[in-house]
Amino acid sequence: RKEVEQDPGPFNVPEGATVAFNCTYSNSASQSFFWYRQDCRKEPKLLMSVYSSGNEDGRFTAQLNRASQYISLLIRDSKLSDSATYLCVVNVGSAQFYFGTGTSLTVIP
């Protein structure tokens, strides 16, 4: 069973659209959760941490549902520059992190 699962997509959306990604994790003892974005052949860059109460950063909103063991990312008013792969990352404690396979997003003009 995979530690972190994501729908690989691809998601192709028009500029201005709202798009949502989900991610599920298997370890109920997981402690912290993050969304990263990765551009082609580049390093992962932190997008946002995900808190139990949910959090928002501009056009991006992250939610955590511990009972169902899933994390979501909502992007509003998509921009061309949002085109990337979005990685769900879960910390299972003791400095060990698991990455999902990533969800590919292309925003179309």
Partner 1 sequence: EPEVTQTPSHQVTQMGQEVILRCVPISNHLYFYWYRQILGQKVEFLVSFYNNEISEKSEIFDDQFSVERPDGSNFTLKIRSTKLEDSAMYFCASSVLENNEQFFGPGTRLTVL
Looking at the Cβ atoms of 71 and 78, the one nearer to partner 1 is: 71
Residue 92 CA to residue 98 CA, distance in Å, equals 8
Looking at the Cβ atoms of 50 and 107, the one nearer to partner 1 is: 50
Applying CB under 8 A, the residues found at the interface with partner 1 are 31-32, 34, 38, 41-46, 49, 87, 91, 93-102
Rounded least distance, CB 37 to partner 1, Å: 11
Rounded least distance, CB 99 to partner 1, Å: 4
* Contact of 85 with 38, CB cutoff 8 Å: yes
Determine the straight-line distance between the first and last CA of the chain, rounded to whole angstroms. 38
Looking at the Cβ atoms of 32 and 69, the one nearer to partner 1 is: 32
Rounded least distance, CB 95 to partner 1, Å: 4
